[in-house]
Amino acid sequence: MKKYLTLTKIGITLMVTLVSASAYVVAADTFSLKLFIPLVIGTSTLAAASSVFNQLLEIKNDRLMKRTSKRPLVRNEISPKNAAFIGSTLLLCGLYTLWKYTNPLASLIGISIFVGYILIYTPLKKKTSIHILLGAIAGASPPLIGWSVAKGKIEVGGIILFAILFLWQIPHVIAITYIHWEDYKKVGIATLNPYSRFASFQATLYSALLLPVILLSVLFLELSFIYLWIATIATIIFTLYSWNFYVKPTTETAKKLFTSSLVYISIIMVAIIVDNVI
């Protein structure tokens, strides 16, 4: 079972599902299990399918990098043929579930994310550092699925949730790149040199840009004063970790930035859900 959880990157799948579900909870005028359950199933299976196909395309690279050398396709625990079957099944199930039980727009957004991540972002990783932004776009799009399920269209509120995730991903990815820079160099990934001042500055800049977006989220998502305080404090702390990485770029500060990024986005998403439920 563990090898299949690794193949589908269960941690990322759960995070994607959480942010999509959060968007639905925020946008829905009336909560409906008939929409929420297909949303969760559709989003999670699409996210899992994306992870499977990503690993299929990255077998050679994963074999060379220490942090990915134990993935099941690298260790031949799952054959590429079986992985392709699993990925295709998950993809079709996810798209069908969203199309049939929610609405076509949600399914179209889902396939757009898949295409962007697998056919655009992944092949460009060795060609241009722009892949970081393209990956961030794909990674920030799941809330649009949840919002479209609730409203049948994309609105400003969904775009704000997209913006939060987009901005958050840049310092998150830069921290990962710094920690695993030697691995990245081995396979020739075209990315920002995380040891450069420019990269650490970008981490700080994108973290700081989260603050005005958080303020806008209170206005357009109709969130409470309590959420505003929680989200503002969390954003300031996250930005301070980014600033610390800029002032003193080391493996230690990069790891702290990485950990703080995971804590930060969890706090923001949970706070949004709780604020709407209470």
What pLDDT is attached to residue 54? 92
Q: How far is CA 273 from CA 30, 51, 159, in A?
A: 14, 26, 17
What pLDDT is attached to residue 75? 86
- The arithmetic mean of pLDDT across residues 176-194, rounded, is 78
Confidence of residue 190 (pLDDT cuts 50, 70, 90): low
Instruction: Confirm whether pTM is higher than 0.85.
Output: yes
Q: What is the pLDDT of residues 144-159, one digit of tens each?
A: 999 999 999 999 999 9
Sequence spans of domains, the chain: 1-152, 155-278
Query: Residue 186: pLDDT above 80?
Result: no
- The arithmetic mean of pLDDT across residues 98-122, rounded, is 94
CATH code of domain 155-278:
1.20.120
What pLDDT is attached to residue 129? 76
Rg for the chain (alpha carbons), in Å?
19
Asked if CATH classification 1.10.3210.10 holds for the domain at 1-152, the reply, yes or no, is no
Burial class from Cβ neighbours inside 10 Å (0-12, 13-18, 19+) for residue 181 reads middle
Gap between the Cα atoms of 225 and 140, Å rounded: 25
- Give the pair of three-digit tokens for residue 200: 């650490």
